[in-house]
Amino acid sequence: MSNILKEKERGSLIVISGPSGCGKGTIIKEYLRTNRDHSWLSVSCTSRPIRPGDEEGVNYYFVTKEEFEKLIKKGEFLEYTEYNGNYYGTPKEHIESRLASGIDVLLEIEVQGALKVKELVPEAICIFVMPPSMRELRDRLVGRGTEDIDKILGRFKTAYKEINEVTKYNYVITNDTVDEAVLKMQSIIISEKCRVDRIEEVYLGNEEEEIHELLRDDKYFVNRDIEI
């Protein structure tokens, strides 16, 4: 039987952000592990130095500050921002084509960039990932062992400011455990796809009319005071 509802085939733009060290990257990685067929993670561009374990084109596209500024002038970014002395930006390339083909596009971006995207694309689904506590966030930042104390302090101060922006998002997820956080993220995306504003058309055609006539003639309803 054909579906009565015809839904919009366009994919959703899903923006995920939160303080450095909150675990948003891990949540996205686990989400994509079971949803890769219809989801795509847009890789951001940055001028920050590459860290141990980083992969070009996987974690970020790494460029110099001068190269980043040239890309800005060319209008290559959906959004960009400066964070802790480094540029971060979302390349426009391939995003629209994937959305048009029904693929969900995930953006893992900083809070400033996320709010810019929300202005440009009001229908974007904006999710803020919260650490379970500031103590846990501190431990995660220190445990990385990739930055000196001044950088960590800078990230910690920025985290306080970012958390104050949470009310500007559509949803918030506290990352107590990765499995629970992924489940919440998946539930948010599924529920968003059930919104009535995603309906393009409701089909009530010949098949439904035939069913209606069959019910009128059904013996069960004969001689009963029931109107169909």
The arithmetic mean of pLDDT across residues 160-174, rounded, is 94
Under a CB-based contact definition with an 8 Å cutoff, are residues 228 and 218 in contact? no
Name all contacts of 123-126 with Cβ < 8 Å and 24+ positions apart.
123/12, 123/13, 124/12, 124/13, 124/14, 124/15, 125/12, 125/13, 125/14, 125/15, 125/170, 125/171, 125/188, 125/189, 125/192, 126/15, 126/17, 126/168, 126/169, 126/170, 126/171
pLDDT at 82 over 70: yes
Give the per-residue pLDDT at 12: 95
Question: Mean pLDDT across the stretch 54-79?
Answer: 93
Q: How confident is the prediction for the chain on average, in pLDDT?
A: 86
Residue 51 predicted with pLDDT over 80: yes
The separation between the first and the last C-alpha atoms of the chain, rounded to the nearest angstrom, is 22
Strand 171-174 vs strand 125-130: parallel, antiparallel, or unpaired? parallel
Q: If DSSP codes are grouped into helix, strand and coil, which group holds residue 119?
A: helix
* Residue ranges per structural domain of the chain: 5-219
Contact predicate 36/76, CB 8 Å:
no
Mean pLDDT computed over 61-67: 96
* Residue 140 confidence (pLDDT): 78
Give pLDDT tens digits for 31-43: 999 999 999 999 9
pLDDT at 203 over 70: no
Q: pLDDT band for 1, please (50, 70, 90 cuts).
A: very low
The CATH architecture one would assign to domain 5-219 is: 3-Layer(aba) Sandwich (3.40)
User: What proportion of the chain, given as a percentage, has pLDDT over 70?
Assistant: 86
| pLDDT tens digit sequence for 126-159 | 999 999 888 888 887 877 766 778 887 878 888 8
The arithmetic mean of pLDDT across residues 79-92, rounded, is 89
Burial of 28 (0-12, 13-18, 19+ CB in 10 A): buried
